[in-house]
Amino acid sequence: MKMTKGEKIFNVFNVAFMTIFAVQCLYPFIYTLALSLNDGIDSFRGGIYLYPRIFTLQNYSTIFTDARILNSLAISVARTVLGVALAVTLSSMFAFALAKKTLPGRKFFNWFVFIPMYFGGGLIPYFLICKSLGLVNNFLVYVIPSSIGAFFILLLRVCFLGMPDSLEESAKIDGAGYMVIFWRIYFPLALPSLATIALLAGLGHWNDWFDGTVMVYKSSLWPMQTLLLNITTGSDLTAFFKDQNLATVNVINRKIKVTPESLKSAMLIVTVAPIVMIYPFLQKYFIKGMMIGSIKG
């Protein structure tokens, strides 16, 4: 069908608006990346917008030779991997049980999961519970409290309820128990929803700085985001890198020196880059998983 004049105007306006919006979203990341790849002293001159003027990797080499940053990066990776594995496994098992209409106390457990989505006890009770469980100043504080999510359970419950009962009935005829039915039939069929949960849980763990700030006093147990927060809000970044001494090196008779601002930019890129690289590969599963929950709900 031939487009009307009004539809053509709307399409032009829509494309222009979305282009401007996309540029506004991408530009801060591009600007920070350009600063992180530029000579620190040269950055003080300004005029860097899209690409580095004097390219250097000295900012990143300074970061990745600092033992504290490497340790915090390892903690972030470890908590993300372990946290995602626990969230996917435990939430899916809980949801599988709630999807069974023969579960004793099913109505109670449904409310038990539903209410915490909208009401919470607050920070002080949360801290006291973690302290009584010995999780304060413990790596496990990053993964145990978030090992089961109410939203994850409800999303998977809807997914499991949408699967035909004949699948379970035929498996029971062959002698399969609930664990076999869950792991061999339901779990593989729920991969889009599981990928959605894995993405959301991974984002939550990787970007989290709060638990490290409130629950952990030892800087050796801080994840990357908590360490970055303490560095960027500190009054003297140079003092943090005193072991590196923000060393000056000679490259073809020209001095290149990293600066606090260039180091901040490099650290921001290091924390954001993994999500930027992983998200495009999981986006299709994220959309599909959310659509399954919305349509069948």
pLDDT digits (tens, 9 = 90+) for 95-107: 888 888 888 888 8
In the structure, what pLDDT confidence band is assigned to residue 235 with cuts at 50, 70 and 90? Answer: very low
pLDDT band at 86 (very low <50, low <70, confident <90, very high): very high
Q: For position 257, what pLDDT does the model report?
A: 65
The pLDDT value given to residue 79 = 92
In CATH, the number for domain 67-240 is 1.10.3720.10
Stronger pLDDT, 41 or 216, i.e. the higher one: 216
Query: Which residue in 44, 82, 75 sits closest to 271, CA to CA?
Result: 75
* Residue whose C-alpha is closest to residue 34's, from 12, 56, 14: 56
Q: DSSP 3-state helix, strand, coil percentages of the chain (rounded to 5)?
A: 70, 5, 25
Q: Mean of the pLDDT values across residues 99-127?
A: 84
DSSP 133-166: TT-TTSGGGGTSTTSS-HHHHHHHHHHHHTS-HH
pTM more than 0.95: no
Whole-number mean pLDDT of the chain? Answer: 81
Cβ burial of 186 (10 Å; 0-12, 13-18, 19+) is buried
Mean predicted confidence (pLDDT) in 136-145: 90
* Residue bearing the bigger pLDDT, 45 or 179: 179
pLDDT at 295: 45
Question: Which pLDDT does position 247 carry in this prediction?
Answer: 43
Write down the pLDDT at residue 266. 86
Residue 16 has pLDDT above 90, yes or no: yes
Percent of residues, the chain, with pLDDT higher than 70 = 86
Range among 40-54, 75-89, 152-166 rated most confident: 75-89
At residue 252 the predicted structure's pLDDT band, cuts being 50, 70 and 90, is very low
